[in-house]
A = this chain, B = another copy of it.
């Protein structure tokens, strides 16, 4: 682990130092965990308050951040800048050894690119292709005629079944399953009969897929995940789903068969998306929502069944006002009862007055007479 002055880091990041540029940085940490000697970052000026609390020796921040008791390193994108220097102070511990481990079982027809690393106990079936510099950590399985592009990272115990195709610079975390059968059955004569799932999975470049996530193969054609899409742990992607580019799918989301996500869709944790629908470009789905219908581009949805975020918020306000509404209904009813009672009294009075006035109209002469 090397050390750098803040001035040296500023030069690497094309940033501007505010404060003591000679301060020596020995490590990186989050804003709350940072100790003396660490550099940290705040993603945006909303977190400026942390500047007075952090024990860090310097903070990477945006160009907007103004005052701070701790030296600042102003850059265009603090998060990106931070990630660039993290590896200076915390170098990768695991170094893949190029070549194929003696214990790996590799079919003679499999093709392994230059500098690729095939870990212990990996199995490569016939026609499997591993791109240059891609690392397969121990215990991975790559099925018949499947391929992984260049510079990929495949963590332990990943399963890639036959005829699946994965792009360059893809990261598959431990336990990922690519290309298991889609869930399709035909009901006949009191039993479910398996529908063969003969399609495949096609994954673009720069995709990352989280631990124990499952991406099912298509019934026919392919389940597709576009370039740059990032998927968290324990997510389920059903058969024939098509996911666009640069989507974010947070952990434990489930996407049912044949649904189509356009580019830049973001789906919060534990949300579920029904089958055969379409989420337009840039749609945002809140965590735990249940999306049952297609959503137009740019919309944000929330709840089960999912509705527009604005409507959801209003509904929530209304729901929390429900007790008061019940109270009001009761009070309205009481006031109404009083009015009705009073009206009834009034009616009786009217009636008696009418009676009276009838009497009076007939009476005068008699009265006169009496008088």
Residues in chain A within 8 A of chain B (CB atoms)? 28-30, 33, 43, 77, 79-80, 82-83, 86-87, 90, 93-94, 101, 103, 105, 119-121, 123, 125, 137-139, 141, 143-145, 155-157, 159, 161-163, 171, 173-175, 177, 180-181, 183, 185-186, 188, 190-196, 198, 206, 208, 210-212, 214, 216, 218-221, 228, 230, 232-234, 236, 238, 240, 246, 248, 250-252, 254, 256, 269-270, 272, 274, 287-288, 290, 303-305, 314-316, 318-319, 321-323, 325-326, 328-329, 332-333, 335-336, 339-340, 342-343, 346-347, 349-350, 368, 371
Contacts and interface: CB of A to CB of B under 8 A. Distances in A.
B86 A198 contact: yes
14 contacts: A83-B194, A90-B220, A93-B162, A93-B163, A105-B121, A123-B139, A155-B180, A183-B232, A190-B246, A251-B254, A270-B290, A274-B287, A332-B332, A346-B346
Nearest to A322: B318
Given A139-B121, A156-B141, A318-B326, A210 B220 contact: no
B137 A183 contact: no
Contacts of A156: 123, 141, 159
Given A123-B120, A288-B304, A236 B220 contact: no
A256 B325 CA distance: 36
Nearest to A141: B156
B326 A325 contact: yes
A148 to B, nearest CB: 16
A236 B210 CA distance: 11
Given A185-B230, A233-B236, 5 more contacts: A90-B220, A121-B123, A157-B175, A274-B287, A335-B340
Given A93-B144, A208-B194, A270-B272, A233 B183 contact: yes
Given A161-B155, A240-B30, A195 B233 contact: no
A97 to B, nearest CB: 11
A268 to B, nearest CB: 9
Nearest to A102: B105
B183 A230 contact: yes
Contact of A198 (B28, B175, B340): B28
Contact of A29 (B177, B188, B220): B220
A287 B185 CA distance: 18
B220 A33 contact: yes
Nearest to A264: B190
A350 B28 CA distance: 85
Given A121-B139, A240-B30, A322 B332 contact: no
B161 A174 contact: yes
A234 B350 CA distance: 76
A342 to B, nearest CB: 6
A336 B337 CA distance: 10
A58 B214 CA distance: 33
Contacts of A336: 332, 335-336, 339
A159 B211 CA distance: 10
Contacts of A315: 319, 322-323
A232 B177 CA distance: 13
Contacts of A163: 93
Contact of A350 (B155, B333, B339, B349): B349
A218 B34 CA distance: 13
Contacts of A155: 159, 161, 180
